Amino acid sequence: MNFEVFITCPVTGAGDTTGKSDKVPVTSKEIAGAAIEAAKAGAAIAHCHVREPETGKSSRDPKLYKEVVDRIRSSDTDVVINLTVGMGGDVTFGPGENPLSLDQAGTDMVGPLERIKPVEELLPEICSIDCGSMNFSDSDYVMINTPSLLRVLVKRVQELGVKPELEVFDTGHLVFVKKLIREGLIDDPCLIQLCTGNSTNKKSWWRINHKFL
């Protein structure tokens, strides 16, 4: 069986990649430059997050996204731009018997329409949507994407004419994607990215590999 293949380059990622390497772009100019460089090397899609220039921490500031997108669009590349809407769904719970004493430094939780502002303003070809809530590693951090929040996100993205890239981290996320298709909230065929490499979802990918692939 033949599969058409395209390359997506996530030029920074959402995690603390800047703390792991000084090669990770931080400013909007650097992020756009990395996306353009990736396109010239053969990437079809640039998956873009932005960061606070002073600290290197992840951001959802529409102004930073605008600079990235404007720089990419004014370059001599035709790379497809993918903006994340994953930011603004971060909750770090308190320890032990005080889970609702949230770690404020690790918590940034806003509504779906706030999360999607850069997409509404800039209308990229694609935006990535994480299709469920989940733990990451062994910390108290949880990525929050409730069913009602996701329905608002995908409905608005469809209205904007932006293609949602549905980020699936485990089999339950696939089940929910199928439900969204049945409800008419997502066009079929849809674009799904299977996200691996997180220790909390290894078993799910073993099942997918053995039953579906």
Q: What is the pLDDT of residues 27-50, one digit of tens each?
A: 999 999 999 999 999 999 999 999
What is the pTM for the complete model shown? 0.88
Q: What is the pLDDT of residues 62-109, one digit of tens each?
A: 999 999 999 999 998 999 999 999 898 999 999 889 988 988 888 899
3-state secondary structure of 167: strand
CATH number assigned to the domain covering 8-211? 3.20.20.70
DSSP-derived pairing of the beta strands 141-143 and 163-168: unpaired
**What's the CA gap between 12 and 99, in Å, rounded?**
30
DSSP state of 106: G
pLDDT at 147: 96
Residues 82, 124 contacting (CB under 8 angstroms): yes
Asked if the peptide bond before residue 189 counts as cis, ω within 30 degrees of 0, the response is yes
3-state secondary structure of 163: strand
Token readout for 76 is: 């001599």
Closest CA to 155 of 174, 176, 183: 183
Q: What is the pLDDT of residues 119-178, one digit of tens each?
A: 999 999 999 999 999 987 788 999 999 999 999 999 999 999 999 999 998 888 999 999
